[in-house]
Homo-oligomer: A and B are copies of this chain.
Amino acid sequence: MKLQIALDTLSLEECIILLEQTKGNVDIAEVGTPFIIEEGMRPVRELKKRFPEIEILADTKIMDAGELEASSAFKAGADIVTVLGVSNDETILGAIKAAKQHGGKIMIDMIAVKNLVERAKEIDAMGVDYICVHTAFDVQKSGKDPLDELKMINKVICNAKSAVAGGVKLSTIDEIVEEGAEIIVVGGAICNAENKSETAKEMKKHLQ
């Protein structure tokens, strides 16, 4: 199991400090969507250069122009690029093509997918690397969490590995670990923690 840290609202300098502080416990550094909207691929380039031992995920949430947009992120140094599960099949297939060309991986973000089980089966058959259930930040307030959705997709996917995101914290990580996922994405629970280094270490301990 890998621990992915979502870097959404920190500056590049703060991200670098955070990744230094959490070294050895973070497997994947996610350059989050708000960060990409603000700065483009600059943080992807910089983090890959400074932390070659950490996988870099570009949370591009691609919705169209799959091949073009995924290529752009892979060229910048991303190891994993995200595409939305609600996008057209052609977009996912285009991104997979780019991943093959660049030796990268595709994660499908299942945020706001209505027919989760059916769509997970379709996407699994396309040959993506990860399928990620994701409770949107904007709906976490309502108390939703992604565990039930993780259970649903774990039952039906055969080729891809599962990932889980959306409000994961120390108090909920054990049940996720028990259910099983290749990647667990944590954002605020580490980025907003008083002691980020200790929290990442503790989280990583629960994963093993």
Contacts and interface: CB of A to CB of B under 8 A. Distances in A.
B61 A63 contact: yes
A73 B37 CA distance: 8
A9 B68 contact: yes
B138 A69 contact: no
A137 B94 CA distance: 11
Contact of A112 (B40, B88, B139): B88
A69 B84 CA distance: 17
Q: Which of A33, A42, A72, A91 has the most CB of B within 10 A?
A: A33
Interface residues of A, number: 35
A87 B109 CA distance: 12
Contacts of A90: 136, 138-139, 141
B37 A111 contact: no
Given A86-B86, A91-B138, A37 B36 contact: yes
